[in-house]
Amino acid sequence: MVNLKINGIDVSVEAGTTILQAAEKLKIKIPVLCYHKDLCIAGNCRVCVVEVVGSRKLVAACATPVSEGLEIHTNSLMVRNARKDIIELLLSEHNADCTKCYRNGNCELQDLAAEYKITNQDFLDLAHGAYTIDDLSPSIIKDDSRCIRCQRCVRTCSEMQSVGALSVANKGSEMKISTFFDRPMREVVCTNCGQCVIHCPTGALIEKTYIERVWDAIADPNKHVVVQTAPAVRIGLGEELELDAGERVTGKMVSALKRLGFDSVLDTDFTADLTIMEEGTELLHRLKANLVEGDHSEPLPMTTSCSPGWVKFFEHTFPEMLDNMSTCKSPQQMFGSLAKTYYAKKIDVDPENIVSVSVMPCTAKKFEADRPEMRDSGYKDVDYVLTTRELAVMIMQAGIQFADLPDEKYDSIMGKSSGAAVIFGATGGVMEAALRTAYELVTGREVPFENLNIEPVRGLDGVREATVKIEDVLPDWKFLEGAELKCCVAHGLANARNVMEKVKNGEVDYHFIEIMACPGGCLGGGGQPIPTNDAIRQKRMKAIYDEDLSLAVRKSHENPEIVQIYKEFLGEPLGKQSHKLLHTEYFE
Ligand code: HC1
């Protein structure tokens, strides 16, 4: 252990601990900007400077390891003056027109300026240069005038996601965050995952908002506005509305959506159940084709396809393996194509007059909804995608006191779901949901209650593996008797890249791989409340599994509305109608 003093208080910490972490142990707050717990240390903003007693030296607390006998002051005159100068310098280069900023009220630089009462302008105001605002992407707006060059986005995009769409260009005062040849985000390898958005401390990277268009649709008496809500929204939304992280707010969210004026409040979880029916059947079909019939046109391992950031990354990075990806559309898009066909017919509304809105924890869903192939209903299947954060804005604008709302239920037809669908929102959830259904399809026996939680695929480890031994199968599945189904789960695109490189090189022989673009899965998506970090991801994850436990139906194939839609409309999984509306193809 290493012994040191911070503000005169003794503390012992492990060797290698930084001054920032040691101060945290003493509950002493040191302000940070370029530092984020998810990312490697950069130490470039210097906001976290502290004084080394006796040396009159200032060091960056985030980047300086402790040493024996070290004495630190975090609040000396020298520290306060230096910190104030640093914040003022950052502001002098920043477009601090806060009332016009989307992050107004949730900006780390604004908070620091407020804390340090920066009311003067001692430094030259440089914030009025020719800055670029790139708003061509359907998901993300990059506003260089708001950028403080902390490089959190660059580290997120390269380390966490291994995408590298954002990088540092130029030097000195010319330095800026750029893309390949400074092209717009939509023309480079950006996956639209939005992790840069939730790691940006200011308004330099924000989601493209569709709030006004949704208000317009709600106000139009000729439109029937249908809204769907993704699994992870119900465990994140409360955080934006002053509730604690990990509070489950499903009933209040439904209540709020009805008060906002949506005509039908339905659930993406319904089509998550449908995805399990289609994807589970597709997996069994691929196993038979590859293992029995020697037909490798739809190869193994099969990867999931519901995370649009992952799909785009896969298209860019592993174009030669596109046939490995399940052809299932994501639940959002399955919902969209059914909303303007099956649902429209059920409620007797001309699909032309249906406006289909989704609320997602994800910015890439905006991109997904815009893909030209997502029009199988004959219309744009999903018209507008709002993030969890945007929904919270609408609720606040409407003056709804969210915490006081009663719990209400989703409308029927495409509003019922199972616990298996809810867990889609956590990394490993799609795999677990699929295994619950596949077991019963193949064996004809119920999964014993105590085995419904499939622990090896749960948690926040970047890559997890599970092997499922298949025994006592039904006659149709005799070829699987005694087989071991090898599964893998990965989240975050850097982990995804590692797994897929191994698949490509023949180093692993999985049958089924679940990949979610964002750390933690959708619960940590780029559209979720800011901040998001591992402690918060854990709380949201617990909430997801609690929600599953609270539901009477926990397996997709037991959802009565799923049984009904196959009977009345779709026929059977992978049937003709399913192929037309629920499946898609991928592009290099
Ligand atoms: Fe997800 Fe999915 S789980 S991709 O993270 O398959 O966004 O929540 O809606 O579509 O269901 C997101 C979440 C979401 C889809 C489902």
Residues 152, 36: contact at Cβ < 8 Å? yes
Quote the distance between the C-alpha of residue 223 and its chain's center.
30
Final residue of a domain: which of 378, 404, 430?
404
- Please give the structure tokens belonging to residue 448: 């014993």
Q: Do both 22 and 60 map to the same domain?
A: yes
Burial of 374 (0-12, 13-18, 19+ CB in 10 A): buried
Burial of 420 (0-12, 13-18, 19+ CB in 10 A): buried
Give me the residues of the chain with pLDDT under 50, please. none
Strands 463-469 and 140-143: unpaired
- pLDDT for res 128: 64
Residue 279 is assigned to a structural domain of this protein:
no
Residues in the chain: 588
Q: Do both 150 and 234 map to the same domain?
A: no
How far is ligand 1, taken at its centre, from the CA of residue 289, in Å?
29
Q: Do both 234 and 120 map to the same domain?
A: no
- Please give the structure tokens belonging to residue 65: 């390891």
Question: Is 137 close to ligand 1, i.e. is its CB under 6 Å away?
Answer: no
Cα distances from 106 to residues 195, 213, 360, 470, 494, in angstroms, run: 16, 23, 20, 50, 28
Q: What is the three-state SS of 427-446?
A: CCHHHHHHHHHHHHHHHCCC
Does this complex have an ipTM over 0.90?
Answer: yes
Q: Do both 384 and 243 map to the same domain?
A: yes
Residue from 277, 330, 359 to probe ligand 1 pocket by mutation (most atoms less than 8 Å from CB): 330
Q: Count structural domains, the chain.
A: 3
Q: Do both 106 and 67 map to the same domain?
A: no
Question: Is 232 close to ligand 1, i.e. is its CB under 6 Å away?
Answer: yes
Residue from 362, 367, 390 to probe ligand 1 pocket by mutation (most atoms less than 8 Å from CB): 362
DSSP alpha helices (H): ranges in 299-416?
Answer: 308-317, 331-338, 344-347, 364-370, 388-397
Q: Do both 261 and 390 map to the same domain?
A: yes
Residue 290 is assigned to a structural domain of this protein:
no
Residues marked as catalytic = 279, 282, 306, 326, 365, 368, 373, 522
Helix, strand and coil in the chain, % to nearest 5: 45, 15, 40
Q: Which residue has the tokens 């797994």?
A: 499
Residue 296 backbone zone (phi > 0: left; psi -120 to 50: alpha; other: beta): alpha
* Angle of helix 211-219 versus helix 388-397 axis, rounded to 10: 50
Residue 145 is assigned to a structural domain of this protein:
yes
Residues 324, 195: contact at Cβ < 8 Å? no
Residue 452 is assigned to a structural domain of this protein:
no
- pLDDT for res 471: 87
Atom of ligand 1 nearest to the CA of 268: 11
* Domain CATH code at residue 259: 3.40.50.1780
Strands 354-360 and 49-52: unpaired
Cα distances from 371 to residues 77, 308, 585, in angstroms, run: 56, 10, 11
Cα distances from 64 to residues 36, 58, 68, 473, 500, in angstroms, run: 15, 11, 13, 59, 36
Domain range holding 62? 2-75
Report the distance separating Cα 388 and Cα 394, nearest Å.
10
- At 306, the amino acid letter reads C
Preceding omega of 519 cis (within 30 degrees of 0) = no
Residue 534 is assigned to a structural domain of this protein:
no
Report the distance separating Cα 564 and Cα 571, nearest Å.
10
Whose Cα sits closest to atom 4 in ligand 1? 307
Final residue of a domain: which of 155, 172, 207?
207
* Domain CATH code at residue 45: 3.10.20.740
Final residue of a domain: which of 404, 422, 456?
404
Question: Is 307 close to ligand 1, i.e. is its CB under 6 Å away?
Answer: yes
Beta-carbon neighbour count of residue 510 at 10 Å? 18
Order of all β-strands in the sheet with 302-303: 302-303, 512-516, 484-491, 463-469
Residue 323 is assigned to a structural domain of this protein:
no
CA-CA-CA-CA dihedral for 193, 194, 198, 201, to nearest 10:
140
Q: Do both 70 and 96 map to the same domain?
A: no
Whose Cα sits closest to atom 9 in ligand 1? 230
Burial of 517 (0-12, 13-18, 19+ CB in 10 A): buried
How far is ligand 1, taken at its centre, from the CA of residue 113, in Å?
37
Question: Is 268 close to ligand 1, i.e. is its CB under 6 Å away?
Answer: yes
Burial of 310 (0-12, 13-18, 19+ CB in 10 A): buried
Order of all β-strands in the sheet with 140-143: 133-134, 140-143, 205-207
Q: Do both 131 and 197 map to the same domain?
A: yes
Q: Do both 126 and 6 map to the same domain?
A: no
Q: Do both 120 and 189 map to the same domain?
A: yes
Question: Is 194 close to ligand 1, i.e. is its CB under 6 Å away?
Answer: no
Cα distances from 445 to residues 221, 236, 455, in angstroms, run: 50, 35, 20
CA-closest candidate to residue 4, choices 57, 76, 73, 67 = 67
Report the distance separating Cα 132 and Cα 143, nearest Å.
6
Residues 484, 467: contact at Cβ < 8 Å? yes
Question: Is 306 close to ligand 1, i.e. is its CB under 6 Å away?
Answer: yes
Residue 284 is assigned to a structural domain of this protein:
no
pLDDT (tens digit per residue) in 447-495: 876 777 788 899 999 999 999 888 899 998 999 999 899 999 999 999 9
Atom of ligand 1 nearest to the CA of 233: 8
CA-closest candidate to residue 280, choices 436, 391, 136, 95 = 436
* Domain CATH code at residue 191: 3.30.70.20
Residues 437, 557: contact at Cβ < 8 Å? yes
Whose Cα sits closest to atom 6 in ligand 1? 306
Question: Is 83 close to ligand 1, i.e. is its CB under 6 Å away?
Answer: no
Q: Do both 200 and 112 map to the same domain?
A: yes
Question: Is 74 close to ligand 1, i.e. is its CB under 6 Å away?
Answer: no
Atom of ligand 1 nearest to the CA of 360: 7
Atom of ligand 1 nearest to the CA of 330: 10
Phi, psi of 167 (to 5 degrees): -150, 170
Residues whose CB falls within 8 Å of the CB of residue 532, separated by 6 or more in sequence, listed in order: 198, 520, 524
Phi, psi of 277 (to 5 degrees): -60, -45
Residue 81 is assigned to a structural domain of this protein:
no
- At 489, the amino acid letter reads V
How far is ligand 1, taken at its centre, from the CA of residue 355, in Å?
20
pLDDT (tens digit per residue) in 363-393: 999 999 999 999 999 999 999 999 999 999 9
- pLDDT for res 178: 97
Atom of ligand 1 nearest to the CA of 332: 10
Strands 302-303 and 512-516: parallel
List the helix and strand counts (H, then E) for the chain. 20, 18
Question: Is 236 close to ligand 1, i.e. is its CB under 6 Å away?
Answer: no
Q: Do both 23 and 156 map to the same domain?
A: no
Atom of ligand 1 nearest to the CA of 527: 7
- pLDDT for res 339: 98
- Please give the structure tokens belonging to residue 473: 């199968």
- Tally of CA atoms within 13 A in the half-sphere of 33 that contains its CB: 24
